[in-house]
A and B are shown apart, each in its own frame.
Chain A
Amino acid sequence: MEFSEHIKTANVEDVVLRRPFHPPMQGTLCVTGHHLLFSNRDGDSSRLVLLLLRNIDAIEKRPSGSSGTITLKCKDLCVLQLDIPGMEECLNIARSIEYLSSLDIVSDMYPFFYRPLKLSLQDQWGLSSAEQNYAQMEELQDRWRLSHVNKDYSVCPSYPPAVIVPHSIDDETLVKVAKFRQGGRFPVLCYYHRKNGMVIMRSSQPLTGANRKRCREDELLLQAVIDGSGLGYIIDTRSNQQAQQARMTGGGFESKSSYSCWKRLHRQLERGKVLQESLIKLVEACGDHSHSVDRWLSKLENSKWLSHVHTALATAGLLAECVERDGHSVLVHGSEGTDTTLLVSSLAQLILDPKTRTLAGFLGLLEREWLLAGHPFQQRCAHSAYSHARLRLEAPVFVLLLDCVWQLARQFPLAMGFSEPLLLRLAMEVYASDYGTFLCNSDQERCAAGVKERTHCLFQFLLKPSERERYSNPLYEPTELAIWPSVQPQSLQLWRGLFLRWTQHAVHLEKAQEELRNLVIECRGAS
């Protein structure tokens, strides 16, 4: 595609850029296929501001006399303003931004054009393969096997080619089970608890439908999971009522009569539109600079965002408790098994597994539980909190995960190998990125689009020594223990680092973090 068709005015002089933390700047604005480029020459020094068009969530234009003002609201929650002389130029630029910021053909997106000198496309894409993961977990190998039944993505389009399943269940059975689960997402292993051999499985809902259909193979598979240990738990991320209603549309749940060794627990986690609207309301509340505390608290409550954080952490805590304290294996699913299921299973792993709390371990967890497990990033993150576009499949499930991880790290500031800046960076990259990592909706789509050959991998980049330094937690002291978060409302806080990132508040906090890092390094140097 030719981007130039959509750029009527490529350059405008004497534009004024206003953005947080900086005085207004006058300079030249330039529109390219993927960026807004603003440069300002002040004597000898020249400054350059580069904005990825993909980052722009909403654009508002306002004429004022012969010139115009464009307000850009970005997906990283930053709001910028451009004062452009010349009405026509202003409208042309606005039109270009509108079109180019919402390209929906994957191969047109910037990661396919991003070619920094220091990175090579020959570098490894992704952190580790299913085979490597499996090979590392020797202790589970006598009861669990790696199945390649999905090698051509035919059994389950949203699963990776290789998954871990009970040894006693053959591929034929898996194919049958897949037909009984929505989207073919049959139960697979996502975590093995070394201390007691219990596991966390995840799947989508069973397709029992209105007439309570059964699937012998599905029951066999779950039986094989708890083999001998007696009882397993199913955590359904819908309310009992929602699960009952799902039967009317062909979905359903594991009934007591068919799955006698499994006990079902319902915990309602919101997703989809409800979650997206929650984010929109929260961001709106944070941007309301009126001086009434009551109004602020009422808006904060009304957004329900902290309620979602609360429920997600509480459910993950429940899951972890079943595994670690009560010694049971757990299957977790909601409907499709691509959103809240992943949220709960990955949070539970952070609580239980010290390996997922290192920088590399955490990125590995995200790769396994979100990228390979088929969270539809492209659909969920098409727009963020400012967009006026009609909502389609957007939902900030991943942002909610990052918020919950931040809460965990706030309660256990020494237990995580990574720091808040990493979470902030991920919150930004997931919406607009130079890297291909969060493109597409599944592994299959990424392979088809050539993402792994033609873009760079964010996670690999974040693990380079220079970046590692920036994103590691200076206070990190590994602990083998589970980290049980308090989910009392008093213990949870608004994630100011993300939601108030562009206020003055953030500046002091950032300075403090820098100070803390220097102090720790200094002390380490001395001892």
Chain B
Amino acid sequence: MEHILTPKVEEVKLLDRYTAKKPAIGTLYLTATHLIFVETSCNTRKETWMLHHLIATVEKLPLTAMGCPLHISCKNFHVAHFVISSERDCQNVHQSLVRLSQPGKVEELYAFLYNPKQDDDERRNGWGFIDSAMDFKRMGLPNEFWEMTDLNKNYELCSTYHSELGIPKTASKGTVFGSAKFRSRGRIPTLSYYHKESNAAICRCSQPLSGLSGRCVEDEEMLQAISRANPKSTFMYVVDTRPKLNAMANRAAGKGYENEDNYSNIRFQFVGIENIHVMRNSLQKLLEVCAMKSPTMSDYLTGLENSGWLRHIKAVMDAGVFLAKALAEDKASVLVHCSDGWDRTAQVCSLASILLDPFYRTIKGLMVLIEKEWISMGHKFTQRCGHVDGDPKEVSPVFTQFIECLWNLMEQYPCGFEYNEKYLLEIHNHVYSCQFGNFIGNCQREREEMRLYERTFSVWPFLWENRHQYRNPLHKCSLGREVLRPSTLPLNFKFWCGMYNHFDKGMQPKQSILDHLLTITQKKAEGEKKMTDLQRLAVMDGVLADQGSPTGTPPEQTSLSPESVSHTAENAKPLMNGAAVEEAEIELVPTAGSEKMEPVAIEN
């Protein structure tokens, strides 16, 4: 509170970003958590809310005839240009926002204030809603080749990994610990995804500390063990997601990549995804393109090209496709790493998982995937998202790129996913907003130390409760276990207007097919439910003979194996049964975050 110098400023103008339309006039409020702009110039009460923690930059520009301009841009790409008549007010707002948008410590983040009025039990259940260990069970672990180990239960093996890791059965404790010493930050090769159909696996790790000529017997044994866990294949791929030049430069610093001569039967491959600094700069350039006022088509396309953004998106997608192909077609296992194995490696492993396994194309499956590949494997959310005041060089849109790759896939397969674009945007928003605890902290150990599970809430039950908004009405379950083979020709990669211009409503299609389909399918489901209720009543009254409910046709699941059915059943049901399913499940799902974001207090 002490940072808010001026809680309320009147007669503030909000300019339209692109057109020369008349600016909206209203009152600007600063609360403990949000900046709120309430329009007074129009009859309907129109509000713009911006969470302080979402603000990426706030800039005070030189005084103009209209007043003092204040430019705010958010991490979810919301941009607002205010003009405040008094320079002093503007100065105060600016100063407050700079402080509020960059909390000094994690405890100041919104998640620690946010209270959806739940008791501790509900909170605990909420955190248990998504469990990445369950996913390994779903894949069939433990089995004759793989097991879960608790060697890392005190984070002694690797401080940035989860406490439970999947490793090949034949890898001894000595091998594991030996390998950890040879891998950057102890991030040993561990299981990311096990492909039941082929017995092949995706494993992930960090770069080896090979330097110019170093080798490590245990690490070589570790890779051998992974290879042996897929007995039908005579080789495995080792994929270094970095450009070759970067990897070579690392050798001079005592790190590097696997020497094919030292490891038996590996096929080594670079895939050339650029590092976090290149990505950060590329996004910056992309946002500059988005900020151009009335550009010509040529300006825009040239700017898009020069930003390099789509080139990077394609590089990530190419790598994901390479992995999926290796497993599905060559039936070979893959070990993936970059430098530390928490950025590019996370992108690539999770994309490949989506391509290989339809479970991750369901609403719940994506939660599990993010929990497993990003949160529990130590993607440094606090640093990459710049949640707190820190080194700006650690900030990078790594997760954003993953979500964008996913969107590109959805554009290519409009019927292939249970979720829709809104779901991706909502997840992306929550990653940056810090309303929930999931994306706070850089690794599992940090989260435990912060006692996040006792002090904040989990976003997943909250999203699950609103899942009717996030479903894709065109989703076809009949695609079954099909492995997606997207085209990665450049012309398939589009600028994502829905993400980068999400808040510029004038640029979006004026009517939404998705909203329309959601409405009509919802109506239909309600209609059917009513019919069922009426029939049930009629049966009870003895007017009708009991023939079972008309919507009770069993979902098509012929192509799913029995284990996966048990886990995915709720997601695999056809849409028309949506209402009935939701009805039945309401009691099982912990209710969380049913309320919308609320400011803690409006200061006056």
Chain A: residues with CB nearer than 8 A to chain B? 285-286, 289-298, 300-301, 304, 306-307, 309-310, 410-415, 475, 483-484, 486, 488-494, 500, 503-505, 508-509, 511-512, 515-516, 519-520, 522-524, 526-527
Contact = CB atoms under 8 A, between A and B. Distances in A.
A508 B507 contact: no
Interface string B301-339: 110110010110010001000000000000000000000
Contacts of B576: 522
A394 to B, nearest CB: 23
B305 A301 contact: yes
Contact of A527 (B301, B304, B523): B523
A415 B487 CA distance: 32
B509 A413 contact: yes
A77 B300 CA distance: 27
Contact of B490 (A292, A415, A515, A523): A292
A297 B520 contact: no
A294 B295 contact: no
Given A486-B506, A505-B492, A297 B474 contact: no
Given A301-B302, A519-B473, A307 B492 contact: no
B217 interface: no
B49 interface: no
A289 B491 CA distance: 9
A527 B295 CA distance: 46
Contact of A414 (B296, B311, B488, B511): B511
6 contacts: A291-B314, A300-B301, A414-B511, A488-B18, A505-B487, A526-B524
A174 B39 CA distance: 55
A294 B305 CA distance: 5
A291 B524 contact: no
B40 interface: no
* Those 8 A-B pairs whose CB atoms lie nearest each other, nearest first: A512-B414, A489-B300, A296-B490, A301-B301, A297-B305, A307-B297, A293-B311, A293-B490
B413 A526 contact: no
The binding surface of chain B is classed by DSSP as helix
Nearest to A493: B494
Contact of B524 (A307, A512, A515, A522): A522
B493 interface: yes
A310 B295 CA distance: 11
Contacts of A306: 297, 301
Contacts of A410: 509
B520 A415 contact: no
B597 interface: no
Contacts of A491: 497, 507-508
Contacts of A508: 412-416
A252 B230 CA distance: 79
Contact of A486 (B310, B416, B507): B507
B415 A527 contact: no
Contact of A520 (B310, B487, B507, B520): B520
A213 to B, nearest CB: 36
Contacts of A285: 491
A483 B473 CA distance: 26
Given A297-B304, A486-B510, A490-B300, 6 more contacts: A295-B490, A414-B516, A483-B510, A488-B294, A520-B517, A523-B524
A475 B516 contact: yes
Nearest to B474: A515
A522 B523 CA distance: 12
Contact of A412 (B474, B500, B509, B517): B509
A108 B492 CA distance: 42
Contacts of B310: 293, 297
Given A293-B310, A294-B305, A500 B491 contact: yes
A476 to B, nearest CB: 11
Nearest to A300: B301
A36 to B, nearest CB: 29
B190 to A, nearest CB: 32
A304 B506 CA distance: 24
A401 to B, nearest CB: 18
Nearest to B521: A523
B524 A490 contact: no
Contacts of A293: 305, 310-311, 314, 490, 493
Contact of A504 (B304, B487, B523): B487
A285 B511 CA distance: 31
Contact of A489 (B295, B520, B521): B295
A328 to B, nearest CB: 20
Contacts of A512: 414-415, 474
A411 B527 contact: no
Contact of A490 (B489, B491, B507, B513): B507
Contacts of B508: 486, 491
A310 B294 CA distance: 12
